[in-house]
Homo-oligomer: A and B are copies of this chain.
Amino acid sequence: MTARSMPEQTLELAAFVPFRLNRLADGVSQHLAVVYRKRFGLDIPQWRVMATVGAKQDCTAQYVAASTRMHKTRVSRAIAELEARQLIERASSSDDRRARQVRLSRSGRRMYSELVPIALEREATLLSCLGPDQLAGFLVGIETLERFLRLED
């Protein structure tokens, strides 16, 4: 078989891992976003800010952006909206007057404590379709790829 008559290489999108990962991540997001939106009126950036600030009180927008890997403008707008809804509060930092400390308000904490169990439960439901070994193998794969792409924290 000569080079000229070699069959064209083909690419089946349905078997192409980058595509499948995107589709999967999207499916999982939809699975959750419905809850955030309908029940709490949060979009994804806002939910991520809530989760981050809820876990680490008194952090900066900077910190949120770094740990969620969202663009700083996206974070800025999410925070502004959450502040308008009085779910978070901001205080100017004492040692750096550019930065502002972000924390959950009382009602923000209330929402957070409702939100977390629901999110964890949905994650558990999702992962329940994998057996223990399958789950472990899957997570190892994710972890290795994260390190390879330098995505971890």
Known contacts A18-B123, A126-B17, A151-B23: A11-B142 contact under CB 8 Å = no
A81 to B134, CA, bound (A): 42
Within 8 Å by CB of A145, from B13, B16, B55, B129, lies B129
> A141 contacts B145, CB within 8 Å?
no
Within 8 Å by CB of A14, from B67, B136, B139, B145, lies B67
Q: Which residues of B contact A19 (CB under 8 A)?
A: 48, 68
A residues in contact (CB < 8 Å) with B: 8-14, 16-29, 31-32, 48, 51-52, 54-55, 67-69, 113, 116-117, 119-120, 122-123, 126-127, 129-130, 133-142, 144-149, 151-153
